[in-house]
Amino acid sequence: MVQRNPRASIGRNENVLSFARSAAPDSASTALNLVYQAAEVFSGMEDHARETEARAQSMCKSAVERLKIAEKRIETAERERREIINEAEYKLLDASRALRQAQSRIVAAEDKLTAVEFRAQAAEAEAREAKQALALVEEAIRRRLLCANPEADSRLNAVA
């Protein structure tokens, strides 16, 4: 059992002891008490250091685990970001390809429309020429038939 000397007291800071000089011949027991007190202080300091070290190790382990989890989340987010970018690139390529195809179909349709318009204009010109030729043929027929028969000429003039 530890005996404490009333003259040796622990101050506010556990690590500091104040010693009073003893005048008694009991200095061997006082020295022994001081050794015990010092051992208690050192033991307390060691316990405190062990507890602090254990807490620090626990905090480090916890921090490492959180870091690993965060790294996994970052890797997952990066992978998902790359997948989204790749998917967007494929969609853009498809849209670009579809746009080029649509543009070429539009150009082809415009070319066909232009060709149809030219054919329509040519057909209209041919129709006008045919109409004019028909009118000339009719006129020639009338002149020949009417000139050969004067009575028919007067009848045609009366009808017209």
Query: At 141, is the secondary structure helix, strand, or coil?
Result: helix
List, for residues 57-109, the tens digit of each pLDDT value.
999 999 999 999 999 999 999 999 999 999 999 999 999 999 999 999 999 99
Q: Where residue 5 falls among pLDDT bands split at 50, 70, 90?
A: very low
| pTM exceeding 0.85 | no
* Residue range(s) defining the domain that contains residue 56: 9-159
Give kind and range of the element (H or E) at residue 18.
strand 17-18
In a domain, 104, yes or no: yes
Nearest-angstrom CA–CA distance, 82 and 101: 28
Q: Which residues pair with 17 in a beta bridge?
A: 10
In a domain, 1, yes or no: no
Number of domains the chain is built from: 1
In a domain, 101, yes or no: yes
Q: What is the dihedral of CA 98, 104, 107, 108, to 10 degrees?
A: -120
Share of the chain above pLDDT 70, in %: 76
In a domain, 3, yes or no: no
Task: Quote the tokens at residue 153.
Answer: 């000429």
pLDDT at position 113 is 95
Q: Which amino acid makes up residue 67? A: L
Inter-residue contact 10 to 40 (CB < 8 Å): no
In a domain, 91, yes or no: yes
- The residue written with tokens 């009808």 in the block is 159
In a domain, 2, yes or no: no
In a domain, 61, yes or no: yes
